[in-house]
Amino acid sequence: MFRVAADSLEAYLDFDPTRKPELLALDALIRKGAPKLARYFHQGTPAGEAGMRMKMIGYGKFRYTIKSGKSVEWPVIGVALQKNYMSVYLSLTRNGAPLLDAYAGRLGETRSGHNNFSFVAFDALDRGRLSELIAEAARIFAADPANPERNRSSAAP
């Protein structure tokens, strides 16, 4: 697994100077579309606990309970640097299905899963569509803060 050696938001943003402009452009788009989802440095789940270990930039927080009964903190929207691309994670549903399913294949992404998509170059993304996705995610979370908890609780990370 690709590891980002960072211990703060600033260090995360500075980790890869060649991709920093793209990371900042994505960050600006997310912050504009979801201004009430506070940005923070997500440290990843500590070793020995269930959850994903990767560090990322988080926007908004929620806690969900995994099958063991433990509670895990996770971002509503997360952005993670990978070795050769960036990934965006969304923990929201619309009508019981992952929100991202409604946008998959229409964002200009390299690949898409149920709760995440990846891209190599920010310029390849459809910024209008991505802005719509982020704004919809913010509206869903504002109207139903338990939405991501129900989504994540159904499948532990």
Q: Show the tokens assigned to 59.
A: 């926007």
Q: What is the pLDDT at residue 154? A: 52
Neighbours of 148 (CB within 10 A): 27
Quick one: what percent of the chain has pLDDT higher than 70?
92
CB 116 within 8 A of CB 90: yes
Q: What is the pLDDT at residue 157? A: 42
Query: Counting beta carbons within 10 angstroms of the beta carbon of residue 32, is it exposed (0 to 12), middle (13 to 18) or buried (19 or more)?
Result: exposed
Give dist(CA 39, CA 83) in Å, integer.
Answer: 22
Domain boundaries, the chain: 9-153
CB 116 within 8 A of CB 52: no
Neighbours of 40 (CB within 10 A): 14
Q: Which amino acid is at 52?
A: M
Confidence class for position 156, pLDDT limits 50, 70, 90: very low
Q: Is the pTM of the predicted complex or chain greater than 0.75? A: yes
The number of C-alpha atoms within 13 Å of 76 and in the hemisphere containing its C-beta is: 29
Vertex 73, ends 69 and 76: CA angle to 5°?
A: 125
- Integer angstrom CA distances of residue 25 from 8, 48, 101, 140: 19, 34, 23, 23
Q: What value does the mean pLDDT take over residues 51-60?
A: 88
